[in-house]
Chain A
């Protein structure tokens, strides 16, 4: 780096990405089409639609729910989901008196196979700093106001386990099919920043 009288301005992030890509490509390290294929995979193959299927199955099938809470990794694998950032899953259940919410204060740990890549706000400082200190206030601010007597359990995924929240099944959904139930399940309800 030049250490002159003044530092050169930081180049725009797009130009820095292009610079890194060019240097790696010149060294033969980037196979043809690898970048586009990888981006496409992240945009289409993983996402909260997978976690929604897990939740809907647990609502519809009490035996499955029991297996899911006892061994999340194995029960999620029954539906075909697993892999990186999903090797050791723990599912935590919301009840009328307990609300669970997940966070990663040190970085951005998140269950990719069931929820996809984490949203930007999950990785940004305000959420990571505040959720372990003032979860009741922060949840209310994010539109999830909880009764005063609801216990809030925060899970900071600081080691190898990744968490999925099992939201409560909404009332008057007894007649719905599993597919329709999955349509009710939101990403935020499985992170724990929303109720259904």
Chain B
């Protein structure tokens, strides 16, 4: 989905709040939230990519105004409710106030994943174009490279396609690639001497 999580290239966020060192958890609740996420995943056994997609489904305003561990808390609670461990009313009664959850899944379940892809279609040095498409579900193809042309620099082996596995028990495996894009291909205000590499599944790509 074209969600708020797909941040590459967006403008207006300002400075990075950088510190050379910081504690693993800034607040005690962060470590607890992170661990409760593991508990929920163990209990509901989600499909691969389903947890990440639950973060991506957060309401944009909530996503941008909460820390990453609050994202994980929200996604964990969302999956717990969607898988029937308890209800949102249960959570809100305990929390003593509203407990925002993620929005609904927009994509239909995947029942026919299509055939696995075996031999890699592309090799190192091949020019490829990223498909220009806007899937409503989980994908690992960022918006900022769609329709752009790059060059394959590395083959990384075959992996299950997240777009399929996040939406059902079906699986499709495909070769993955690291693709180099010159900054000038991506941005009209590109900085010189820059290239960006993005790691992509084969079905995201077509020959250029």
Contacts and interface: CB of A to CB of B under 8 A. Distances in A.
Interface of A: 1-2, 7-24, 27, 29-30, 34-35, 38-39, 42-43, 47, 88, 90, 105-108, 116-117, 119-121, 123-130, 132-138, 141-142, 148-161, 186-188, 193-194
Q: In the complex, which range does the number of interface residues on chain B fall in? A: 35 or more
B96 A186 contact: no
18 contacts: A7-B98, A10-B98, A11-B92, A18-B29, A20-B36, A20-B40, A20-B73, A29-B43, A35-B32, A105-B8, A119-B22, A129-B7, A132-B186, A149-B193, A156-B199, A159-B140, A159-B201, A161-B176
A39 B31 contact: yes
B106 interface: no
A90 B7 contact: no
B193 A152 contact: yes
Contacts of B11: 129, 133
A188 B20 CA distance: 7
B166 to A, nearest CB: 13
B200 to A, nearest CB: 7
B5 A11 contact: no
Nearest to B139: A106
A10 B100 contact: yes
A34 B13 contact: no
Contact of B13 (A2, A129, A151, A159): A129
A18 B95 contact: yes
B141 interface: yes
A39 B194 contact: no
Given A1-B89, A125-B7, A159-B176, A22 B25 contact: no
Q: Is the interface of B mostly helix, strand, loop or mixed?
A: mixed
A38 B41 CA distance: 15
Interface stretch (B80-88, B108-116, B119-127): B80-88
Contacts of A134: 191
A24 B31 contact: no
Interface string B45-77: 000000010010000000010111010010011
A128 B73 CA distance: 21
Interface string B5-38: 1111111011111111110111101011111101
Contacts of B13: 125-126, 129-130
Nearest to A92: B197
Which of B40, B52, B186, B198 gathers the greatest number of chain A CB atoms within 10 Å? B198
A17 B77 CA distance: 9
Contacts of A130: 13, 16
A18 B36 CA distance: 10
Contact of A11 (B29, B34, B95, B142): B95
Nearest to A88: B156
B118 interface: no
Given A21-B36, A123-B68, A136 B191 contact: yes
Which of A16, A34, A157 gathers the greatest number of chain B CB atoms within 10 Å? A16
Contacts of B156: 88, 90, 159-161
A11 B16 contact: no
A158 B34 contact: no
A19 B95 contact: yes
